[in-house]
Chains A and B, each alone.
Chain A
Amino acid sequence: MTTIVVLVEHAAGAPRRGSLEALGAAHALGAEVVAVLCGDGAAAAAPHCGKYGAAKAVTLGGPAASPDAVAAGIAAVVKGASASAFLCSATSTGRDLAPRVAALLDSTLFSDCTALVNEGGRMTVTRPWLAGKLEATLRSSGPLLCATLRRNVFAVKEANLTCAVSAGPALGAGKATLTGVEARAGSKLDVSEAPVVVSGGRGLKEAPHFALLEELAAAFGNAAVGASRAVVDAGWRPHSEQVGQTGKTVSPQLYFAVGISGAIQHVAGMKTSKVIVAINKDPEAPIFKLADFGIVGDAFEVLPALTEAVKKLKAQG
């Protein structure tokens, strides 16, 4: 049986959702899954990994303050397990660490994969090229497959294994050191991990009108506000919210495009959303060709009514 090592990120003693998706993806390939958890709190989160498909978990304790030191620790685990693959969620941490781990193991990297298939011991991956304008199915000719997995694509599955936890060497100091974190205002979800994304474009006319989208996001409770490039370039919204070719690629369950015409650069970043709703004054806007459901109308009229209706729905449970 092949072994797959999965980086499991954790917070408050529990694995993060993206990492559970990665564990599910690895388990679905029929491999023995080894979770690796880094930093303070790793030991508390490790036992939870069995439930989601890990047979073993290795903890690398100490502060995970240096990405190069963390990558070296993970690479040693991958090597020690003689793994055929190393997977992690394409979070900001995963996207930073995975190339370092891959380079340490003389392996290339497949980023932001949307499918993994085991073909008689050789794995193929599917991933976007040109921000999703093309889907590439690729195979690694190297002995080790390193890949990051797009969030919200792979299912979290309960496998209910008993996970054997062992403590690996503590993380050492590295070349770059984390000295501080300014948390984003509020505890808002990132646009690339939220199950619901409500995005606004130039049709919202001016920056303060994004309050209408924030209210809709708050009514959903599990939503993040997104933005088109035009409004980010205009300085109305931070770049961290930009969806599209020079922003983030997202695959939420539900995507609202409000006052967004549907330029190819934006569409590339959101067309794999499960359900797309467009709200636009212009019935000819290209976004309606893509949307599952559309409302032709003024966002300033539709959004408050939608927010009220969602609040009512949520209140009913």
Chain B
Amino acid sequence: MKIVACIKRVPTTDFVPRVGADGKSIDAAGAQYMASFYDEIAVEEAIQQKEKHGGEVIVLTLGPSDTSKEVREALAKGADRGVILTDGEWSGRDPLATAKVLAAKIKELGADLVILGRVGTDRDNAAVGPMLATLLGWASVTDIVKLELAGTQGTAKREADGGIETYSFALPAVVTCQKDLNTPRYAALKGIMAAKKKPVDEAPAGALASQVEVVKLALPPARKAGRIVGEGAAAVPSLLDALRNEAKIL
């Protein structure tokens, strides 16, 4: 089985952004980067499926050349090789442009299964996975919490608002991972050493037409200063009074 796991470099979750001088960009000075939280789950699932069914895991990313750091981390955990589509503007690409570039590369690589995180924790669109499936014309299940493959058939459980949905599909397919799917492993020293010898190919992503124009970027409005209404259980009547008569919501 040939599995492609897509990852995206994003700022670490403790990153405190500032708006750049142009009012339209993020001042990323001092930011540390990581593979998006959910993409680590995607890499783990790809490796687990390979361990069960055999085959190959290719890690694919659209990002700056030094995204090799995140790619090597995935290789250290057990992925076989990496492909970086280099793009200096990676974080600002709109999801359709990103999906088009990834779809073209996946067609070229060939794959039975493509696994992505459910959302990149930077632009938060949660769109690339299902867009990619649509462009490829493949089956797709989003936000999965369980994946079972048998031959050319797959079953996935999806976390929906009202409960858990089960889908069946034929491969090739695209799935996006929700948190409950697995717990990503840590890379062992042996894996880290082995990763240094695994191939990572780089190719320019090429021109990407973006449909998104940034008009303005701002910090969200600060909340009005609140107050402590009291201490302990004795403060409950004051709280309800404040909710009822000040905030007028009860």
A39 to B166, CA, bound (A): 17
| Interface contact B127-A99, CB-CB below 8 Å | yes
Cβ-defined contact, B228 with A181, below 8 A = no
Question: Binding site of B, secondary structure by majority: helix, strand, loop or mixed?
Answer: mixed
Whether A292 touches B165, Cβ cut-off 8 Å, given contacts A108-B212, A141-B213, is no
User: A interface, by DSSP: helix, strand, loop or mixed?
Assistant: mixed
In the bound complex, residues from chain A placing their C-beta under 8 Å from that of B223 are 271, 276, 290, 292
When C-beta atoms are compared, the residue in chain B nearest to A195 turns out to be: B249
- What A residues does B219 contact at CB under 8 A? 133-135
Q: Which of A99, A110, A276 interacts with B130 by CB under 8 Å? A: A99
A133 to B13, CA, bound (A): 10
For the complex, what is the distance from the CA of A196 to the CA of B14, rounded to whole Å? 27
CA distance A100 to B99 in the complex (A): 11
B46-54, B69-77, B89-97, B198-206: which lies at the interface? B89-97
A191 to B13, CA, bound (A): 21
- A131 engages B124 (CB within 8 Å): yes
Question: Is A246's CB under 8 angstroms from B236's CB?
Answer: no
Number of interface residues of B (CB under 8 A): 87
CA distance A98 to B179 in the complex (A): 21
Could you say which interface size class chain A belongs to? 35 or more
Would you give the 0/1 interface string for A163-193, flagging 1 where the beta carbon is closer than 8 Å to chain B?
0000000000011111111111000001011
Contact check, B220 vs A135: say whether CB atoms are below 8 A apart. Answer: yes
Question: Are the CB atoms of A177 and B125 closer together than 8 Å?
Answer: no
User: Whole-angstrom distance between the alpha carbons of A289 and B7 in the complex?
Assistant: 36
Task: From A111, A138, A181, A297, give the contact of B232 (CB < 8 A).
Answer: A297
* Known A-B contacts A102-B131, A134-B220, A239-B179; A306 and B239 likewise in contact (beta carbons under 8 Å): yes
Stretch at the interface among B59-67, B106-114, B133-141: B133-141
Are B160 and A93 in contact (CB-based, < 8 A)?
yes
B239–A109 touching, CB < 8 Å: no
- In the assembled complex, the Cα of A304 lies from the Cα of B232 at a distance in Å of 11
Q: Contact at A100–B130, with CB atoms within 8 Å?
A: yes
Task: Give bound CA distance, A93 to B19, whole Å.
Answer: 33
Please tell me if the beta carbons of B134 and A99 are within 8 angstroms of each other in the complex: yes
B212-250 toward A: CB 8 Å interface, digit per residue (1/0)?
111111111001111111111101110110111001011
Identify the A interface with B (CB < 8 A).
Answer: 67-68, 71, 91-93, 95-96, 98-100, 102-104, 106-112, 124, 127-142, 174-184, 190, 192-193, 232, 238-240, 242, 245-247, 249, 253-254, 264-265, 271-272, 274-277, 283, 288-298, 301-302, 304-306, 309-310, 313
Given contacts A175-B169, A249-B124, A276-B223, 6 further A-B contacts (CB under 8 A): A68-B133, A92-B161, A99-B128, A139-B212, A177-B167, A313-B244
